[in-house]
Chains A and B, each alone.
Chain A
């Protein structure tokens, strides 16, 4: 049996335990575990006969049929590369070429930005059968690691996405660990607002939910706060999963949001820090704290905080290890190891995964922090944000914290480009010369930004990370106030 087929079989075993229970619900379509199993078998057999090779690019959708297709690919012994459904067609094809995927599989509801050639329906009598596209001009990428069952992509926020190989054992171990941490049972209704390719959804809501017999509700359709809350009012989720940005938008729904979470026991966010004021307002509106986990794409979840310890990224999950040499006030690098981490990067000409881990298998993350006395991990910044100006090494996060201590400042982002340090400041009514005066008071001279720019807000990506490109666009507008020390040479 191939590693991926093992995952398909494990799901079928789970389906057999509670056949009549709803498994996946979305877009007005509710599939029981029996129906899910039937589709996995049926589509899996067709995909096995139809598709050449092992590698297959899979484009997920928030639909029960799409979940079935993923497990059908497993059942067929294929190794799905789980794509980002927002990739334009040209990007998708480019990535297929890079990683040697000659086949693309997507649901009938997925609309590519432009048609892909070679579309073939997969035989299935259901409402939303998947389609397969064959890309004959792409050379098959050949064998992967013998244990590889599926491939996930890194976010690509620092460059081209890298493809990570995971074993079936890793997937099952990760699902079991998260299931235990979040105490997921068949009584749970998990409303997941992230797409299935994303780590937040994949780690918290897919295998861990289905192997527990829970019901996974995916939000199909428009992700506006109104539509989400209307969906949630019908689902009455026991667990809500969403990015910080979406949770923040949901706060505008007020009383409806509170009612929609009347049966919720856990809200989980990840991927980006949750602003403290959002956490507070969320608690005020819903009566629930927002939980959080910390992890990186290579390792999966490392810690979990159910929301009861503000400011903490949580305590290590069973079987995970953290090395954090920093201490409070002096953050250090963080290295992590889990029992379910990736086996390899799919060969793309880049450095191998072994370069990212030490001899003991610890991955050095880009984050800085320390382990607190309560055993919880505190993340305070990114290692890549350690500046070196004229031989003076310091943390850009410390500069941000110093600027942020000026009353009225609502957000700060500091970056260095070509040796010039710029502080983007959001603080309505705070003149830049007041910010400068404050910097001169509280920072060593070499840590005072060369430029201070007022921006109307700090633009963030959907995952809540600062969008540097948008920030630069914003600050290029002529009506933004700029202060320059004139020290840049």
Chain B
């Protein structure tokens, strides 16, 4: 990965964390060291996840396919990886 791609990748993760913090009203804050941490362990519940996914759709202009594996939403890293490959 070249430098600009790596920078964009890092920015995406940071933006995802910001959105998550916003939709969870500060309940879930993810540090850089926690990008791989299971969001469930950080306090993610089904209602917050739904609000987060809706916000991410708006943020990056994608629509989550209905048959997407649940594992995609396990962590900030897994979500960012999916967006990068979409």
Instruction: Kindly state the interface size class of chain A when it binds its partner.
Output: 20 to 34
A231 x B26 contact (CB < 8 A): no
Say yes or no: is A405 at the interface (Cβ < 8 Å to chain B): no
A221 x B27 contact (CB < 8 A): no
B64: chain A residues at CB < 8 Å are 222, 224, 226-227
B27: chain A residues at CB < 8 Å are 470, 473-474
A462 x B66 contact (CB < 8 A): no
A249 x B70 contact (CB < 8 A): no
The number of A-B residue pairs with CB atoms under 8 Å apart is 56
Which residue among B54, B64, B66, B67 has the maximum number of chain A CB atoms within 10 Å of its CB?
B66
A28: chain B residues at CB < 8 Å are 67
Q: Tell me whether A111 and B63 are in contact in the complex, defined as CB-CB below 8 angstroms, given that A222-B53, A224-B50, A252-B54 are known contacts.
A: no
Contact of A245 among B47, B53, B67 (CB under 8 A): B47
B50: chain A residues at CB < 8 Å are 223-224, 249, 462
Say yes or no: is A225 at the interface (Cβ < 8 Å to chain B): yes
Say yes or no: is A220 at the interface (Cβ < 8 Å to chain B): yes
Say yes or no: is B85 at the interface (Cβ < 8 Å to chain A): no
Say yes or no: is B25 at the interface (Cβ < 8 Å to chain A): yes
Residues of B44-86 at the interface with A, using a CB-CB cut-off of 8 Å, are: 46-47, 50-51, 53-54, 57, 63-68, 70
B54 x A457 contact (CB < 8 A): no
Say yes or no: is A176 at the interface (Cβ < 8 Å to chain B): no
A82 to B67, CA, bound (A): 25
A461: chain B residues at CB < 8 Å are 47
Say yes or no: is A460 at the interface (Cβ < 8 Å to chain B): yes
Residues of A195-230 at the interface with B, using a CB-CB cut-off of 8 Å, are: 220-227, 230
Residue of A nearest to B40 (CB): A113
Instruction: Kindly state the interface size class of chain B when it binds its partner.
Output: 10 to 19
A53: chain B residues at CB < 8 Å are none
B66 x A230 contact (CB < 8 A): yes
Q: Tell me whether A224 and B53 are in contact in the complex, defined as CB-CB below 8 angstroms, given that A27-B67, A462-B47 are known contacts.
A: yes
A245: chain B residues at CB < 8 Å are 47
A462 to B47, CA, bound (A): 6
Residue of A nearest to B52 (CB): A224
B25 x A456 contact (CB < 8 A): yes
A475 to B14, CA, bound (A): 25
A462 to B51, CA, bound (A): 11
Distance in angstroms from B43 CB to nearest chain A CB is 9
Residue of B nearest to A474 (CB): B25
Q: Tell me whether A457 and B25 are in contact in the complex, defined as CB-CB below 8 angstroms, given that A224-B64, A227-B66 are known contacts.
A: yes
Say yes or no: is A310 at the interface (Cβ < 8 Å to chain B): no
A231: chain B residues at CB < 8 Å are 66
Say yes or no: is A417 at the interface (Cβ < 8 Å to chain B): no
Contact of B54 among A220, A224, A470, A473 (CB under 8 A): A224
Say yes or no: is A141 at the interface (Cβ < 8 Å to chain B): no
B68: chain A residues at CB < 8 Å are 221-222
Q: Tell me whether A460 and B47 are in contact in the complex, defined as CB-CB below 8 angstroms, given that A224-B57, A474-B25, A477-B26 are known contacts.
A: yes
With A221-B65, A474-B26 known, 10 other A-B pairs at CB within 8 A are A28-B67, A220-B67, A222-B68, A224-B54, A224-B57, A225-B54, A230-B66, A249-B54, A456-B25, A457-B25
Name 24 A/B residue pairs within 8 A (Cβ), A-sorted.
A27-B66, A28-B67, A86-B46, A221-B65, A221-B66, A221-B68, A222-B64, A224-B50, A224-B53, A224-B63, A224-B64, A226-B54, A226-B57, A226-B64, A227-B64, A230-B63, A230-B66, A245-B47, A249-B51, A249-B54, A462-B47, A474-B25, A474-B26, A477-B25
Lowest 10 CB-CB distances: which A-B pairs, in order? A221-B66, A227-B66, A226-B63, A224-B53, A221-B67, A456-B25, A462-B47, A222-B64, A224-B64, A222-B66
Which B residues have a C-beta under 8 Å from some C-beta of A?
A: 25-27, 46-47, 50-51, 53-54, 57, 63-68, 70
Which A residues have a C-beta under 8 Å from some C-beta of B?
A: 27-28, 86, 111, 220-227, 230-231, 245, 249, 252, 456-457, 459-462, 470, 473-474, 477
